[in-house]
């Protein structure tokens, strides 16, 4: 297990399935792409739409192409703390 990255902050989270442990597989909120209270990743940094993430469960570190582009909407969509279901 890797140590948590020093950049890992509870206030910066992203809801992306972890390729390391796949802990979201049988989870209902994650399956519906909602902001799950149990399954989230530390958002270490981002370059444009590329997110640098670390899983708090298995400490796997990876990059994820969000496809959102480097805009404020990225932050509001990926890092909003509570689910905001618009549809």
> Considering beta carbons, is residue 20 or 83 the nearer one to Zn ion?
20
Please identify, among the stretches 37-45, 61-69, 70-78, 79-87, the one whose residues bind Zn ion according to the rule CB under 5 A: 37-45
Within a 10 A sphere around the Cβ of 8, how many other Cβ atoms? 18
* Least gap, CB of 71 to Zn ion (angstroms): 26
Give the Cα-Cα-Cα angle 75, 52, 66 (nearest 5 degrees).
55
In 3-state terms, what secondary structure has residue 69? coil
Beta strands 41-47; 13-14: pairing state: antiparallel
Among 4, 12, 21, 34, binds Zn ion (CB under 5 A): 21
Helix (H/G/I), strand (E/B), else coil: 78:
helix
Q: Is 44 in the site for Zn ion (CB under 5 A)?
A: no
List residues binding Zn ion (CB under 5 A). 18, 20-21, 24, 27, 30, 36, 38-39, 55, 57-58, 60
């Amino acid at each position: 297990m890797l140590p948590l990255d020093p950049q890992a902050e509870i206030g910066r989270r992203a809801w992306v399935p972890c390729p390391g442990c796949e802990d979201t597989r049988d989870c209902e909120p994650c399956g519906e792409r909602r902001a799950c209270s149990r399954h989230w990743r530390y958002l270490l940094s981002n370059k444009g739409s590329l997110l640098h993430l670390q899983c708090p469960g298995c400490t796997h570190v990876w990059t994820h192409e969000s496809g959102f582009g480097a805009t404020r909407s990225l932050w509001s969509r990926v890092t909003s703390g509570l689910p905001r279901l618009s549809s």
